[in-house]
């Protein structure tokens, strides 16, 4: 399989080079040249997420140095629980993607990318720096995935004051080969800083930088695996393909679902649920695409005004109208997020995180009787928001509790490219 840049100005390359680079040298995002096609029967005899992932991803690894190790990589990175649980009394279900070490779905992708990059690294290669901008959850997941891996250092940039207290603590609690900066700016500022450094080919080479943001192909591929797994489980249980409602920010998670459906696996409508950052809902309602500054909301990991993966989505649908492709987008305000957390807790006793609450709110507006709500984070990560609404404490998952018990140490960084370059040197 060969990989191209969405901007068409970069040389066609291999998976291994695309994984290591993160961003293409023309500033575009890497995409596979073709999409393989699958039917459910292609997965006969395969039951676990790592097994299904290895089958699904095999064509993408054709010709890679990692081809023979793909099953190993999936076993190491993707062996996380992934329950599909009923919601309420109808046919709706919740896909819980938050049972990894940092309690958000980003663990799947971060662990997969780390497993790939560790195997691609030459033993004599100088220290490689994984540079990551985070709106709260990516940084922790990447830190956990690379923590104490020889040959790697992780540099995290997060927007000061715009992540939850537990997210901030978790981001800065690893130590060792993980360095955390709080930036006086928004997530978009952090992302712009990272892109400006990674997009400078000479600088990125001299500092041996790589990216782990949602622009990385190494995140898209494993996220596809859990949407394939879920489609197969649902089909095998005799149920019809559900409408997927996916909390969306940078659009990495939802894009994976859309691509899996393009590859032939059964998914109904794919619905993007955003917070008050309305770029996607405005676009799908008919406006021109208009990236804009992000707005701070209760669902902070989705505070994105210019979703980077939109460029991939557009590339995939180049000659088709995205607005007639069984994709919708709806936005949700903070008051509704709070109301949904309250209502679902009193209905079912279950606490949801503010991101998942966006999907629950969007679900209420849809006529379907077969929805799959994607739950992206554990509510305990957002206890300051969730607990006052539900009137009780949320139980902290053990891995998160362990991190929260460590001391945290974040450095400060001005919102300025030269400050970042100096910090990296
Ligand atoms: C990152 C994140 C999202 C948004 O995912 P994208 O892939 O950026 O669209 C939603 N919910 C949570 C909890 C997240 O951490």
Please provide the DSSP assignment of 244-296 as one string: EEEE-SSSHHHHHHHHHHHTT-----EEEEE-S--HHHHHHTTPPP-------
* Ligand 1 lined by 106 (C-beta under 6 Å): yes
Contact 246, 253 (CB under 8 A): yes
The pair of three-digit structure tokens given for residue 163, joined into one six-digit string: 């992540």
- pLDDT tens for 157-167 read 999 998 888 88
Q: How many angstroms separate the alpha carbon of residue 365 from the centre of ligand 1?
A: 21
| pLDDT score at 294 | 87
Angle at which helix 187-198 crosses helix 417-424, to 10 degrees, equals: 60
- pLDDT tens for 270-301 read 999 999 999 999 999 999 999 999 899 999 99
Protein residue whose Cα sits closest to atom 7 of ligand 1? 252
* Ligand 1 lined by 163 (C-beta under 6 Å): no
Q: Give the integer Cα–Cα distance in Å for 278 and 274.
A: 7
Q: How many angstroms separate the alpha carbon of residue 75 from the centre of ligand 1?
A: 24
Distance between first and last Cα of the chain: 35
Q: How many angstroms separate the alpha carbon of residue 136 from the centre of ligand 1?
A: 9
Query: Among 139, 329, 355, 360, which is best to mutate for testing ligand 1, by the most ligand atoms less than 8 A from CB?
Result: 355
- pLDDT tens for 12-52 read 999 999 998 888 889 899 999 999 999 999 999 999 999 99
Phi and psi at residue 111, to the nearest 5°: -65, -35
Q: Give the integer Cα–Cα distance in Å for 34 and 386.
A: 43
Sheet with strand 411-413: strands edge to edge: 209-211, 128-133, 152-159, 178-183, 411-413
Q: Give the integer Cα–Cα distance in Å for 400 and 416.
A: 32
Average pLDDT of 319-348? Answer: 95
- pTM comes to 0.94
């Amino acid at each position: 399989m060969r990989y191209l840049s969405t901007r068409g100005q970069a040389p066609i390359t291999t998976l291994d080079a695309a994984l290591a680079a993160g961003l293409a040298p023309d500033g575009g995002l890497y995409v596979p040249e073709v999409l393989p096609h699958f039917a459910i029967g292609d997965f006969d005899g395969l039951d676990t997420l790592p097994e299904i992932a290895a089958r699904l991803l095999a064509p993408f690894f054709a010709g890679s140095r990692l081809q023979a190790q793909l099953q190993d990589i999936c076993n190491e990175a993707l062996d996380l629980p992934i329950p599909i649980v009923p919601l309420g009394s109808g046919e709706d279900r919740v896909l819980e993607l938050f049972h990894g070490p940092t309690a958000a779905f980003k663990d799947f992708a971060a662990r997969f990318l780390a497993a790939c990059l560790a195997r691609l690294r030459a033993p004599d290669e100088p220290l490689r720096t994984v540079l990551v901008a985070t709106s709260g959850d990516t940084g922790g997941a990447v830190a956990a995935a690379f923590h104490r891996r020889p040959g790697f250092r992780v540099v995290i940039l997060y927007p000061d004051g715009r992540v939850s207290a537990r997210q901030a603590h978790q981001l800065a609690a690893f130590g060792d080969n993980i360095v955390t900066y709080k930036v006086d700016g928004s997530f978009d500022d952090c992302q712009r800083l990272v892109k400006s450094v990674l997009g400078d080919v000479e600088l990125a080479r001299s500092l041996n930088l790589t990216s782990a943001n949602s622009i990385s192909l190494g995140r898209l591929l494993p996220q596809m695996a859990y949407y394939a797994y879920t489609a197969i489980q649902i089909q095998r249980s005799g149920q019809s393909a559900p409408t997927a409602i996916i909390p969306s920010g940078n659009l990495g998670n939802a894009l994976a679902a859309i691509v899996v459906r393009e590859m032939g696996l059964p998914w109904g409508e794919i619905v993007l649920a955003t917070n008050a950052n309305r770029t996607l809902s405005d676009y799908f309602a008919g406006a021109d695409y208009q990236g804009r500054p992000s707005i701070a909301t209760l669902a902070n990991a989705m505070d994105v005004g210019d979703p980077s993966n939109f460029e991939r989505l557009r590339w995939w649908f180049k000659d088709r109208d995205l607005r007639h492709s069984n994709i919708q987008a709806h936005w949700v305000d903070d008051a509704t997020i709070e109301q949904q957390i309250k209502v679902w807790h009193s209905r079912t006793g279950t606490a949801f995180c503010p991101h998942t609450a966006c999907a629950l709110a969007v679900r209420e507006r849809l006529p379907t009787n077969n929805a799959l709500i994607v739950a992206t984070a554990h509510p305990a990560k957002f206890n300051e928001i969730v607990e006052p609404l539900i009137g009780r404490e949320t139980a902290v998952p053990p891995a998160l509790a362990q991190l929260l018990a460590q001391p945290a140490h974040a450095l400060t960084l001005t919102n300025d490219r030269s400050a970042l370059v100096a910090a990296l040197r």
